[in-house]
Amino acid sequence: MIVMEAYAILWADLMVLKRRIGRYLTTTLISPVLYLVAFGWGLGRGISVDGASYFEFVVPGIIALTAMNSSFNGAGTRLNVDRLYFKSFDECLMAPISHLSLLLGKAMIGVVRGLISSIAFVMVALLISPAFSIGPLFLVSLLLTCLTFAFLGVLAALLARSHEDMATFGSLILLPMTFLGGTFFSVSQVPAALKLVLYALPLTHSSMCLRAAALDQSFPWGSLLAVGCFWLVFFIGCTLVLKRASV
């Protein structure tokens, strides 16, 4: 029953996505490709990090970043608009479905969008440099990353009282994470005190998992567990906020 109800919510968002898939794919690739050109080819030419060329090093980081942004915005921004602008979220709250189904349905579109964007970027990156591998650990890490940031998006959208709040959340949380989350540099190179701060960011662990899986390095199982814990915290947060907000 929960799966069917969650799919009902997801279905509507999938219909919208289907109608806009061409435009979505084009716009979703702009930002990661620009990062790739600026950091991979421009700044990182001739540099090597942790035994790999900087280009190979940065691609998994940009995949993590793409997964984060697309999942967060795919779930959060849509929910924020549905809740505060279209007011159509109330229709879901008034339907005889469980809160769990509602949360899953709203988060799943973030996961779908995150996976589409990341896979599209992987294809572009593979065309340029086929030097990394995509195995089960890479896919599990990517899926967990999308799930975690989709739920973070849902949580932010449920807490936001205006569209401005979502933008503020992006500036205060996502933007610092973009540059500090181990995307463009190795966390092993930073001082110990800063390292502690960086490990408190979910993107750091996602980048480490995806990078290790893509470059066939020793896999950081602790980081995979950390991403799972972040997902759990965001999921519990969503459940509590939704419960507090309604009967």
Partner 1 sequence: MHIMIKTEHLTKEYGGQKAVDDLDLQVDLGATFGFLGPNGAGKTTTIRILTTLTRPTSGRAWINGFDVVSESSEVKGEFGIVQQHLSLNRELTVRENLDLHARLHHLDRAERRERIDELLDYVDLLEYADHLIDRISGGMKRRVMIARALIHRPRLLILDEPTVGLDAQTRRRIWDLIRRMNSDGTTVFLTTHYIEEAEALCDRVGIIHQGHIISLGSPLELRRHLGLTTVELRSEGNNTEYRYFPDRTTAAKYVQTLPSSAENIVMRESNLEDVFVELTGRRVCE
Instruction: Give me the residues that bind partner 1 (CB under 8 A), please.
Output: 4-5, 7-9, 11-12, 15-16, 19, 82, 86-88, 90-97, 246-247
- Residue number, 15 or 192, with CB nearest to partner 1: 15
- Residue number, 208 or 242, with CB nearest to partner 1: 242
Q: How far is the CB of 107 from partner 1 (least distance, A)?
A: 17
- Residue number, 90 or 216, with CB nearest to partner 1: 90
Token reading at 100: 């769990």
Q: CA 134 to CA 139: how far, in whole Å?
A: 7
- Residue number, 14 or 143, with CB nearest to partner 1: 14
Q: Which residues of 165-197 are buried (b: 16+ CB within 10 A; e: fewer)?
A: ebeebbeeebeebbebbbbbbebeeeeeeeeee
Report CA-CA distances (Å) from 64 to 100, 200, 204: 26, 16, 9
Q: How far is the CB of 81 from partner 1 (least distance, A)?
A: 10
Give the DSSP H/E element, type plus range, for residue 229: helix 221-245
Q: How far is the CB of 18 from partner 1 (least distance, A)?
A: 11
Nearest in space to 63 (alpha carbons), one of 235, 209, 233, 173: 209
Q: How far is the CB of 101 from partner 1 (least distance, A)?
A: 9
Q: CA 60 to CA 15: how far, in whole Å?
A: 30
Q: How far is the CB of 110 from partner 1 (least distance, A)?
A: 16
Residues 6+ apart with CB under 8 A from 240: none
Q: How far is the CB of 26 from partner 1 (least distance, A)?
A: 18
- Residue number, 196 or 240, with CB nearest to partner 1: 240
- Residue number, 15 or 30, with CB nearest to partner 1: 15
Which residue is listed with tokens 């470059």?
215
Residue 180's identity, in one-letter code, is: L
| For helices 54-72 and 21-35, angle between their N-to-C axes, nearest 10 degrees | 140
